[in-house]
């Protein structure tokens, strides 16, 4: 990005110079009559500078488009990170929910087993099967 900044600064400086040159040439053209020999020379200079200025305008438009695309891409990356974070959070909640369901299932199985057992011999339960 530093290289882009240096190039952009140089282009902006050149753009400012071209605008000043056009203003100067335009003022000189206004002073001359169209029949003056200097008029054609100044008019050619004006057209050359205007052409270069138009090229710089195109270049700036391309840079603006590229920067807009970078902004869009950056926004997409941020949105993706947000979505990934939310997905991770949701997955964690589902895992927690599944863990609590498993705990409820184990507790339920112990309670059911306790209800079905009829007696105890030593350390073993005598349970009827249903």
Packed helices 2-31 and 37-116: angle between N→C axes, nearest 10 degrees: 150
Q: Between these two residues, 60 and 6, which has the higher pLDDT value?
A: 60
Question: Residue 122 pLDDT more than 50?
Answer: yes
Q: How far apart are CA 15 and CA 23, in angstroms?
A: 12
pLDDT value, residue 19: 83
Domain boundaries, the chain: 2-116
pLDDT digits (tens, 9 = 90+) for 73-102: 888 888 899 999 999 888 888 888 888 888
Q: What is the mean pLDDT of residues 43-56?
A: 87
pTM for the full model? 0.48
Q: Between these two residues, 70 and 113, which has the higher pLDDT value?
A: 70
How big, in percent rounded to 5, are the helix, strand and coil portions of the chain?
A: 85, 5, 10
pLDDT value, residue 2: 47
């Amino acid at each position: 990005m530093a290289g882009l900044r240096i190039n952009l600064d140089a282009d902006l400086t050149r753009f400012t110079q071209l605008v000043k040159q056009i203003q100067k040439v335009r003022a000189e053209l206004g002073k001359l009559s169209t029949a003056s020999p200097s008029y054609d020379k100044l008019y050619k200079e004006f057209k050359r500078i205007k052409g270069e200025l138009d090229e710089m305008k195109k270049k700036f438009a391309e840079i603006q488009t590229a920067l807009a695309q970078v902004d869009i891409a950056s926004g997409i990356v941020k949105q993706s990170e947000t979505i990934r974070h939310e997905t991770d959070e949701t997955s964690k909640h589902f895992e927690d929910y599944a863990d609590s369901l498993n705990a409820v299932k184990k507790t339920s199985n112990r309670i059911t087993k306790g209800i079905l057992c009829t007696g105890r011999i030593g350390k073993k339960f005598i349970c009827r099967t249903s």
